[in-house]
Amino acid sequence: MISTLLIQQWKETSRSSVFQKSIAVNIILGFFIVYFALIFILMGFFADRLLVQIYPGINPVDSFNSFLLFYFLLDLFVRFMLQDLPVLGIQPYLHLPIKKSKLIHYVLLKSVPSLFNIMILLILVPFMLTAITPAYGLGTGLSWIGSLLLLVLFNNFLLIYFKRQLSTNPKLTLFFGLVIVSLMLLDYFEIFSLRSISTVAFGYLLQQPLLIVVPAVLLALVYSINYIFLVAHTYPEEIAIKQDTNITGNDISFLNRFGQTGKLIALELKLIWRHKRSKSVIMMSTMGLFYGLIFYPQKIYMENYGFLIFVGIFMTGMAIFNYGQFIPGWQSGHFDALLTKRISPYQFYKAKFWMFVPVTLLAFLLTLPYAFFFGYKIVLINLACLLFNMGINIFVIFYFSVLNKEKLDLSKSASFNWQGVGASKFVMMLPLMLLPILLYFPFSLLGIPYWGIFTLGLVGLIGLIFHNQLLHIVARRFSVHKYKLAEGFRKG
């Protein structure tokens, strides 16, 4: 039965219009998958050498083990914010003579081939081959990596259970994030050494390979808890039937799971792909990824952390700055019709927010190769800039978007096209670039630049956690100005 469900799932995917028609998109997606896979594999192969440089005189395996506990805590936190629950249209199967246990096992096992579960293996396997196997033997290395994989799956099913029990609560998420940050600070000030605990715990897995039984038992326990919970909550009367909405036009199958937000994102992607100006804006934004090549090779800039923050903000946010500065002008041609639809301002901006977040994350990942040539601090600074762009700068763009009252002609290219470019764009760019520098500057004066970088990332993370509240603020501002926008677009 599970194989039958897998076949039906494959048919649903393969018969979608995107899978059949968008060959170019599939090729580009495949290229990015291979690109990032190679980056993580290289990180795994060179991790032992990098750790020796950062922590001279310490066994690189012990250094690697010391960060694993932090990784699993951060992994759980990131899953809590980003990972979706495994979805199966289970209602059509409940009246059929199919054992409920088969359906539930399928729903749970469907979450196993997840990016969160697979990505870490691209680093662990090369590190095992280069550092662990020569020192401890192949059998011990396999036991070590097997234990870590079981713990990754433990995080996977533990997160699924928590998210089924609790709705996404920003306060709970913030509390969990603060706990992790507090543990890191306690370790940094040597008050409570979580790294020492991690080194000892995962060191035992190398000394006693049979301890793989412990993560296996933990995984079996949390899997059983999920199974029991689903058995008790998969009755037809408990499953809500989704109502049809007036938002149509979504033929990108993987966005269906996100409801109205996914449909709005699909419509936005179609707008970008079908019009000359939106496509040229995106193409021009990719040039910002090479911005680091101008400054990183020069030592004078590499010693100026404030300037590196400016470069990091620019590289990770170039796409959202260029595209976001014209919101909602992209919809100016049909803005009146948009106001008549059952689409709230909150839904409108939420869709754009969840379209911008992956774009900034992709830009950050594309800048990772800079670390191989200019040092790991580039990754730390760009990570802080990524969080600040996602948690603060996106909402700065949304806040100033109500000032864009000039209609855009999407059939014209963006090159030497000043339509829609006014004083409001320059006003918006000031806080986008100056806020992170001003936030970092006091720490620079105190001679603790890394605390400034940490604060920059923390502020962005807090904004990201409370994104729903910030979206409501932006939506209320849009509601006040929407008729002025409509009037401006009609005159344009």
| DSSP codes, 169-201 | -HHHHHHHHHHHHHHHHHHHTTSS-HHHHHHHH
- Residue 146 is predicted with a pLDDT of 92
- Phi-psi group of 347: left, alpha or beta (phi > 0 → left; psi -120 to 50 → alpha; rest → beta): alpha
CA distances from residue 93 to 90, 212, 313, 351, 467 in whole angstroms, order as listed: 6, 37, 49, 31, 37
Q: Is the pLDDT of residue 478 over 80?
A: yes
Decide: helix, strand or coil at residue 95.
coil
Backbone angles phi, psi at 88, to 5 degrees: -140, 135
**Neighbouring residues of 184: CB distance < 8 A, sequence distance ≥ 6:** 70, 194
Reference 254, options 244, 269, 241; nearest CA is 269
C-beta of residue 248 within 8 angstroms of C-beta of residue 263? yes
How far apart, in whole angstroms, are the C-alpha atoms of residue 62 and residue 202? 9
Selection from 62-71, 75-84, 266-275 with the highest mean pLDDT: 62-71
The percentage of the chain sitting over the pLDDT mark of 70, rounded to a whole number, equals 78
Residue 367 pLDDT class (50, 70, 90 cuts): confident
What spatial distance separates the first Cα and last Cα of the chain, rounded to whole Å? 59
Reference 211, options 199, 202, 219, 220; nearest CA is 202
C-beta of residue 273 within 8 angstroms of C-beta of residue 279? yes
Q: Which amino acid is at 183?
A: L
Residue 246 pLDDT class (50, 70, 90 cuts): very low
C-beta of residue 90 within 8 angstroms of C-beta of residue 1? no
How far apart, in whole angstroms, are the C-alpha atoms of residue 208 and residue 200? 12
Least confident range from 80-89, 179-188, 301-310: namely 80-89
Least confident range from 243-252, 343-352, 430-439, 452-461: namely 243-252
Q: How far is CA 446 from the centre of its chain?
A: 33
How far apart, in whole angstroms, are the C-alpha atoms of residue 162 and residue 268? 32
Which whole number is the average pLDDT over 327-348? 81
Q: How far is CA 168 from the centre of its chain?
A: 16
**Neighbouring residues of 279: CB distance < 8 A, sequence distance ≥ 6:** 272, 273
Number of alpha carbons in the 13 Å side-chain half-sphere of residue 255: 22
Least confident range from 16-25, 205-214, 390-399: namely 16-25
Cα–Cα–Cα angle for 113, 118, 119, nearest 5°?
145
Q: What is the pLDDT of residues 218-239, one digit of tens each?
A: 999 999 998 888 887 666 545 4
More confident call, 353 vs 282: 353
Tally of CB atoms within 10 A around 174: 14
CA distances from residue 131 to 25, 119, 124, 200 in whole angstroms, order as listed: 38, 19, 10, 18
Q: What is the largest CA-CA distance in the chain?
A: 75
Q: What is the pLDDT of residues 18-71, one digit of tens each?
A: 455 455 556 666 776 787 788 888 888 888 888 888 788 888 899 899 888 888
Tally of CB atoms within 10 A around 240: 7
Q: Which amino acid is at 148?
A: L
Q: Is the pLDDT of residue 354 over 70?
A: yes
Name the DSSP letter for residue 132.
Answer: I
- Residue 257 is predicted with a pLDDT of 60
Reference 145, options 116, 122, 111; nearest CA is 122
Domain boundaries along the sequence of the chain: 2-7+18-238, 253-491
Burial class (CB in 10 A: 0-12, 13-18, 19+), 259: middle
Which whole number is the average pLDDT over 136-159? 91
Burial class (CB in 10 A: 0-12, 13-18, 19+), 142: middle
Residue 182 pLDDT class (50, 70, 90 cuts): confident
